[in-house]
Structure 1
């Protein structure tokens, strides 16, 4: 009786098990999604080496998200059932690892290279730009909070990398992230052509100290992306480019404390989910007063630790070069995955307000950043 009862169960189990040599559906989706992401990342990395794209400031990250969006809005709908797990893994897990390894591009010695004035300028530009974003984004431009925070982070720190690093903290939707990245691409690319013209104007009217070094600090402290900083400053002089990159790296280093402070800020704000649950409940108060739990961005601590390790020069330079190349691929995979999961319909729904909002922040970076640079340089030298 017992064996007869168990026989159908054994047969059912046997038929439900995957055939030998075949991956379970979720593992197959993981592998195929990773392959798709890395193919797009590889193509983007190769394309970023094309000279005219380099001169235009288009990095592998920018190209990856564009290619991802093209594929995501054409053929990916048919591919998604078989590779969604791997694409999601690239967008989330590989992103965090990419941000951690990004620390191998920086050292604490970079701070000394720009001096106290450079650090103060970067800090003031960051806080003023992000503060303006928070004040204007929701009240004047009526944008959702996540889009405001992402555009504010991208404008005030380091462009697409900052947007992607901020996404896990604010738990944004792919469309919100893509809108923020798009603003970085638009206005960062515009800066590449605008800043050399501003340098020539400065030679005539002396808004800033009339030196390539001073203008390099200004460029590094106000332009969005690292690649865009390099492209804009190289059009001025090699000296301006070197100073601009150092100033930009110091600004990038502020990403980790920014994420920690942002996480603490978000935890003190009522969440939409808490509000919704309050409406659906019978009038009972939400847990923790409707405030979000503190989402500690642990990868930010990893980023700082890697910067510290790199500052000690324990890792050979050739190993560091390999790691940074690998990191570029990881970040490009994350960008590709983001593009794959973004639909143009969502961008159309966002409208022109995000671009207008980002344009205001861009104007502040140019004008307000020049004022900050001028005042700090005069006070601290």
Structure 2
């Protein structure tokens, strides 16, 4: 007699995918809702991108019925805010080209470098020394304020390994003050706060406003010329995200032994600490360089950028799903105070920097 055939056993890949699927579907549903809301005109006028909307919706779901879904959805949600985030940051390079960098000239580059470095160091110093925030929260708020808002916060998180609540607080902070900038900058132009306008005001906006969507909204409220210059300078700031992540990874890795000593849990000398190399940052640069060659068909490029927006939105949705109101309340008013000080710095110092660069012909 022949024995009955053994039942089909799912492969390891199939088993892992089955574990991830509920969380991926949930993150995708929240992200899809955010993408749909992003197409509504009354929201786009406020400069609220799909990333911002995704984390807001994620927080709402995460603090209501997600607790019942967490046992089955958690693996996929964790995958979304980890692996999908890194892939999204890599594909973000498809929005950038070397030609855009050359287009803004030396003045735009210097404005970005000066404002990025000064804002980040100010955030870290004020956050840790004056407000007594933990280093992770100060770094996340500094990265979001000085580079590109929520996307920079999310890209920085894997290096400092911050909890979801700290990331959510940082994102909320940069979104609030970046949104204020949408209404403030057009008024400054109308009131002639600064002795420059047109292209130079666009460089000012691009080097100081938090989110890409907020830069677009503020620039368009003034003129198409200002908007074009602002977006180009802003995208240059986005490119600076990659070297920023590499430097942060190096210094954060070197400071790890001191942090573990202070917690009373020393784990070895500096030589034994594994440096967290943000490989996705190198890939991000590579994709931007490849995109500069203009080899991809326009339709394919558009589809890949759409995919990238979906991946980043899913990552933000997953972050929101794992964020709890109690943890945000526990953070207190200090993160908002830090964000407010950085906003004042960006507006004031950014205007002075642009005035100086214009005076020397840059």
In 1, Cα distance between equivalents of 2:334 and 2:107: 35
In 1, Cα distance between equivalents of 2:118 and 2:8: 57
- Structure-to-structure mapping, 1:1-381, within 5 angstroms: 27-202=17-192, 207-209=194-196, 211-271=197-257, 274-275=260-261, 279=264, 286-289=267-270, 292-381=273-362
Q: TM-score, normalised on structure 1?
A: 0.89
Cα offset for 1:286? Answer: 3.9
Larger radius of gyration: 1
- Kindly provide the CA deviation profile for residues 299-353 of structure 1, in whole angstroms up to 9, marking residues without a partner as x: 0000000000000111111111110000000000000000000000000000000
Q: Is the 8 A contact 1:208 1:370 kept in 2?
A: no
Unaligned regions of 5+ residues in structure 1, if any?
1-13
Q: Is the 8 A contact 1:270 1:290 kept in 2?
A: no
Unaligned regions of 5+ residues in structure 2, if any?
1-5
In 1, Cα distance between equivalents of 2:195 and 2:44: 28
For the aligned residues, what is the CA RMSD?
A: 2.1
- Kindly provide the CA deviation profile for residues 275-305 of structure 1, in whole angstroms up to 9, marking residues without a partner as x: 277x35xxxx641249853110000000000
Cα offset for 1:238? Answer: 0.8
Q: Is the 8 A contact 1:125 1:156 kept in 2?
A: yes
Q: Show the counterpart of 2:3.
A: none
In 2, Cα distance between equivalents of 1:65 and 1:144: 22
Going from structure 1 to structure 2, the CA distance change for 1:152 and 1:220 (only over 3 Å counts) comes to same
Secondary structure of 1:195's partner? helix
Q: Is the 8 A contact 1:266 1:292 kept in 2?
A: no
Cα offset for 1:136? Answer: 0.9
Q: Say which is worse superposed, 263-272 or 308-317, in terms of deviation.
A: 263-272
Q: TM-score, normalised on structure 2?
A: 0.94
In 1, Cα distance between equivalents of 2:8 and 2:335: 48
Q: Is the 8 A contact 1:159 1:224 kept in 2?
A: yes
In 2, Cα distance between equivalents of 1:149 and 1:291: 24
In 1, Cα distance between equivalents of 2:295 and 2:19: 39
Q: Is the 8 A contact 1:151 1:163 kept in 2?
A: yes
In 1, Cα distance between equivalents of 2:331 and 2:17: 35
> How many aligned positions are there?
357
Going from structure 1 to structure 2, the CA distance change for 1:18 and 1:35 (only over 3 Å counts) comes to farther
